[in-house]
Chain A
Amino acid sequence: MNYLAALLVCSTLIAGREADVPDPPDLRGWNMVGERVHLEIKGEDAEKVFTEIVGFTEDYQNPNDPTERVRVVKKIIPLIPAEMTMGDDPTSPTSIISNYIRKKSNDKLKKRYENSEAIAYMRYHLLRDARTGRTESWLRTQEGPWIYREGVEPDRSTFSEPSKDDPEEPILVGIKFSLGGEYRILKIDQDFIVKHGRRP
């Protein structure tokens, strides 16, 4: 019995303390700090740099407590700019096409930012002490419910799947966030990746 109790306590400590699920932070009135960081999947070959964007993170600061921050992970409908490597000559067709793709991508990204969806929050304090040092994390599963944990942050890892054309070679297609045994995957259809020109 003692062994089982100890096992239960350890499991809970490792997985993070589960509590009744509080609502994710309401960030209205909070100020964004730092830069927006894209969640990207990258690859390259001799001619091109491939960047596929599946989401981004933003950090917000509590206006009433500057040491309190919330990091938000937001999903977007994936954006896949087909950008060519810039040549040395800015007037060359390659450079011109690259400029246009970059402009188009930036315009579309702005719209993506507005139509994004929060899938994870991490609340933390810059100054950690016994009272304020705990991280609180929320992760929204694909089906909709939020998972909540204290003391841990969502784990982030790359996500691959078998390539349709060459199952022996996995193809990197996304990013996976895990929390408390649940997960959320931000990914791109590998058909788009292949159409983009990136191979496993």
Chain B
Amino acid sequence: MKNRMRQIILAAACGLSFLAVPRGLWAQENQLGEKKEAASVECKKGFLDCYWFLLSPSDEKAFKNLKTDIERQAFIEQFWKDRDPDPNTPENERKIETDQWIKDVEEDTILLRNTDVDFSPTTFREGGGPRGEMARIYLLHGMPDFKAKLPEGQRFVELMMWTYGDGSGHIKYNFLFYKKYGMFKVFRLYGMGLETALQEISNRFGPQDPDYINQEWYEFQAADIQRIFQSALFQFSDYSKMNPDEAMKPPTPAALLVEQSGSGVLGDPIIPPGWVMRWSTSPTSLPVRFRISGNKGGIPLILLKYSDVDWREKENEFELVLKLRIFFQNKETKQLVLFKSDKQKEKVPYYERWITKKAKKNELLANPDAFFALPLVELGREIENFPAGTYRVNIYLRHEVTNKDAAFVEEIVKK
């Protein structure tokens, strides 16, 4: 009978485990409306004392190893720069917010001034003081979107819940605190079953017998009419990989988030290591002359002036690398001509090659306004094999390093 009761309780608990906490609560403004306002205060204690919760062990070690005030100041400036959530604004919103939260914890009155229903006044002192778990969570995440308390019952301790939403209707964190030995602790025993959870929040010392646990569960259900605390015993977050310890770690600095994302701005010059650039006077273009025809024996030519292109220099040798891509489309049939590719086994509908030109320093400097030609012999042979017809030719040439470019649209007649 007792075992059957336990099975029923566990089944009911599983059914409740994904019970949604009222989502509309995430949309409610923080009761005190303080989360988003700029702080007019700055933490005046030392850097480590103020911002200990944001520092990883390696950050702390690195800071302690600094020898001079100048080094420490530089570290602090970079530290906050890396954590600025919006570099487009002059202020660092994260620092402003954090300093206000530090002040809240030090004054320890913000949770006393709370006017939420079902949340009796409390202090950070009840959660271990300014360096306890409650304070750490507040310092990292600010005022929760939703708070509730469940008074101590006959068989279970006082419970408190802080819920943070992610702005899109999901629970980011659902911290459940239970008050044991006079102090609120963060509940961590997710995934270990109802019995283990109830043992932990029981108000008697030591392991309890199953009868006691059953009674505790009945009492708990009766007290938790909205079932929000029952849900909190089983699920910390809507994001399956999240747990309380992860949520209480220093957050990834904004700058590192960006780096890890791989997102960025494309189109900038990428100078290979070891090379020095000799820049041309043309800021964006390749002032190139391109000669192409359908005539037999006509070799396509790229004509450039030495001074009109950017050269990369290494050990007195200059090099130019250009990417050439050409589409040939028969105007009558609309078909694209296929070519062998360096990278793919099948033929591709474009001609694409990297073209390299090397030059000695004296060659370049002796007559910078001289032209040089890049003959495209292979392409010329390909064109000789085209069927007769008129072709629309779409030519694109791009400098490999600087992305300066040239684009042409021509027509050739192959007889």
Contacts and interface: CB of A to CB of B under 8 A. Distances in A.
- Are A and B part of the same complex? yes
A158 B85 CA distance: 37
A145 B244 CA distance: 67
Q: For chain A, which range describes its interface: under 10, 10 to 19, 20 to 34, or 35 or more residues?
A: 35 or more
B45 to A, nearest CB: 25
Interface string A62-93: 00000000000001111111111001111111
A97 interface: yes
B289 A143 contact: yes
A142 B167 CA distance: 50
Interface string B247-289: 0000000110110010111111100000000000011110111
Interface stretch (A10-18, A24-32, A188-196): A188-196
Interface string B130-159: 000000000000000000000000000000
A115 B283 contact: yes
A106 B86 CA distance: 13
B407 A142 contact: yes
Nearest to B169: A88
A36 interface: no
Given A96-B85, A115-B283, A162 B266 contact: no
B327 A161 contact: yes
Q: For chain B, which range describes its interface: under 10, 10 to 19, 20 to 34, or 35 or more residues?
A: 35 or more
Given A96-B257, A105-B265, A162-B329, A117 B349 contact: no
Contacts of A162: 327, 329, 336, 349-350, 394
Interface string A181-200: 00101111100100110000
Interface in B387-407: 394, 396, 398, 402-407
A33 to B, nearest CB: 24
A143 B283 contact: no
Nearest to B86: A99
Interface of A: 75-84, 87-93, 95-97, 99-106, 108, 115-117, 142-144, 161-162, 164, 167, 174, 183, 185-189, 192, 195-196
